[in-house]
Structures are given as structure tokens and as C-alpha cells.
């Protein structure tokens, strides 16, 4: 069994200069491809259940799927709740066998975010589970704007919560489909100087691959969340499979043809972050 906590994969990453991919899952097809890619690359992987995934599939089902994949994997696999907005979300995830939860209080005042995140950290650690928090707010492409992370507030947040990983806002944006932006490295260095907690970048699909690679090896960023980039790869592969034969109706056959392309796209993501 290769099921591990977030802390178990991020501590070595911080120490040895690499990052681990937090891959946003939507269903069985992508999560099994992600594990296959991680095995091919010989690196750990974080399977993430975000809000849209949870709307479609209940957390207990997702937990069982993640654990099943981890038990048969040859590499470490983290079962992670992404953007848990309530204590109930985190409770259910922990009860469902997740090994890591993210409590997202980033829209709330600093003191409230610290208080609520600290309570989830205590709950998670009591169950042998890791906890990620967010300070600053990472916005959405075409939607809510970002609020940059203040280094002093980041230090206060880290001290007050004891989180195992800290998501920061330094120019990253959720749901960005291109890599035309980039992260503010001066802000990253200021946050690094203020705290020793492993840092997390949400909206990693919008970060140029070269910058991902450089920061994975030369900063405290130990986790890049990647969703949109791989959703696009899956969508492209699915469209090709559907259009290949208009008379086909067996969805298992059609979905099965997406696997190879999604594994290849995922391997490219992992190669930029892994050690070596």
C-alpha cells in the first residue's frame, strides 16, 4: 500500500529541491491515468478532489477510489481534499479515508482564517492526516480577482495554524488555459524569508513550464496544483475518440482511448517537477 500523507511527500521535496504535482481529478479515467503516469516517472503524486468533482461524486466514493488506486500503486499516493470550504467538508473527507485536507479560509479576514484553519489542523493531525491552508486569495480566470499574499501575514498564518503546507497568491490564477503569465518571484522570495512551511501554487496550469521547473528546484514551492491543463488534454483525446467513428456508442471503448494521451500529458507535467 502506497497511501501517504501530504506531509510525507512534501518534507522530502523541500529538503531535496523538487516539487510534487497536485492533480485535480474529475473521475476514474483521469485519476487512474495520473497514477499510471506517476508510476512511469517513478515519483509521488497527489490526487485531489475539488469542489466540482465533489458535486458529481460523493466524498466517500472518491476516498474509496483514491485508496484503491494507492493500494495498488508502486509510488506514494496522497488522497487530498482540495478547497474544503467548511469544517464539515474536512470531517467527511477524513472519515472517508483521505490522508490530506485543504481548508480554504482565504476569503475571510486574517484572524478568522487563522482561527478556523488552526481548528482543522488540530482535527486533521489528531487523525494522522495533513492539512494545507491558504493565505492571500488566488482568483479565477474571467472571475474573482486575486488578493496577493503579504509576507508578514504569511508568517503570522504559518505560526498561528501549524499547517503542513501553505498556498500563496503571487500572480497565479485558477482555471487559466494558457501559460502566458508567470509568478512574481520577488514575492515568493519574501514569503520564503518569512516562513519555512512548504509552499503551494494553485492555478499551476497558467505557470510557464520553464518557471515551474526552476521554482521546483530552487524555491520552497513544493506543490503545484495542475487541473485545467490536463482537463484540456483529456477533452482533446475524448473529442478525437468520439469523432473517430460516429457509429460507436460504447462509452467504455471511447473513454478507454483517452488513456494513453492523458498519461503522456501527465508525464510531461511530472517531469518538470520531479527530482533529478
25, 29, 31, 36 alpha-carbon torsion, rounded to 10°? -150
Determine the Cα angle at 74 with ends 13 and 233, to 5°.
75
Catalytic pick among 82, 89, 104, 150:
82
Residue 47 · residue 79 · CB < 8 Å: yes
| pLDDT tens by residue, the chain, 276 residues | 599 999 999 999 999 999 999 999 999 999 999 999 999 999 999 999 999 999 999 999 999 999 999 999 999 999 999 999 999 999 999 999 999 999 999 999 999 999 999 999 999 999 999 999 999 988 787 667 777 899 999 999 999 999 999 999 998 877 676 666 789 899 999 999 999 999 999 988 889 999 999 999 999 999 999 999 999 999 999 999 999 998 999 999 999 999 999 999 999 999 999 987
C-alpha closest to that of 255 among 27, 24, 23, 25: 27
Residue 143 per-residue DSSP state: S
DSSP 8-class letter at 79: E
Indicate the burial class of 132 (C-beta count within 10 angstroms; 0-12, 13-18, 19 or more): buried
Instruction: List 81's β-bridge partners, or say none.
Output: 49, 101
184 is known as an active-site residue:
no
Give the CATH number for residue 39: 3.20.20.70
Domain that holds residue 37: 3-273
Q: How many domains does the chain contain in total?
A: 1
Q: What is the pTM of this model?
A: 0.95
Amino acid at each position: 500500500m502506497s497511501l501517504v500523507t501530504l506531509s510525507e511527500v512534501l518534507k522530502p521535496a523541500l529538503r531535496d529541491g523538487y516539487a510534487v504535482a497536485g492533480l485535480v481529478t474529475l473521475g476514474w479515467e483521469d485519476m487512474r491515468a495520473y497514477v499510471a503516469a506517476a508510476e512511469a516517472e517513478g515519483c509521488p503524486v497527489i490526487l485531489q478532489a475539488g469542489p466540482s468533482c465533489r458535486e458529481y461524486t460523493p466524498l466517500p466514493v472518491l476516498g474509496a477510489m483514491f485508496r484503491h488506486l494507492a493500494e495498488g500503486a508502486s509510488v506514494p499516493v496522497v488522497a487530498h481534499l482540495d478547497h474544503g470550504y467548511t469544517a464539515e467538508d474536512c470531517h467527511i473527507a477524513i472519515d472517508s479515508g483521505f490522508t490530506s485536507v485543504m481548508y480554504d479560509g482565504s476569503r475571510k479576514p486574517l484572524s478568522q482564517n487563522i482561527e478556523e484553519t488552526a481548528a482543522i489542523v488540530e482535527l486533521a493531525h489528531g487523525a494522522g492526516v495533513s492539512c494545507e491552508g491558504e493565505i492571500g486569495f488566488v482568483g479565477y480566470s474571467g472571475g474573482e480577482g486575486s488578493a496577493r499574499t503579504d509576507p508578514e501575514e504569511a508568517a503570522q498564518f504559518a505560526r498561528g495554524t501549524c499547517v503542513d503546507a501553505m498556498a500563496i497568491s503571487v500572480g497565479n490564477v485558477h482555471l487559466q488555459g494558457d501559460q502566458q503569465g508567470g509568478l512574481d518571484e520577488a514575492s515568493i522570495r519574501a514569503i520564503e524569508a518569512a516562513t519555512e512551511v512548504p509552499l503551494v501554487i494553485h492555478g499551476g496550469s497558467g505557470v510557464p513550464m520553464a518557471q515551474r521547473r526552476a521554482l521546483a528546484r530552487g524555491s520552497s514551492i513544493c506543490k503545484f496544483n495542475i487541473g485545467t491543463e490536463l482537463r484540456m488534454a483529456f477533452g482533446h483525446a475524448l473529442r478525437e475518440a468520439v469523432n473517430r467513428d460516429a457509429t460507436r456508442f460504447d462509452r467504455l471503448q471511447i473513454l478507454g482511448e483517452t488513456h494513453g494521451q492523458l498519461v503522456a500529458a501527465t508525464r510531461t507535467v511530472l517531469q518538470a517537477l520531479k527530482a533529478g
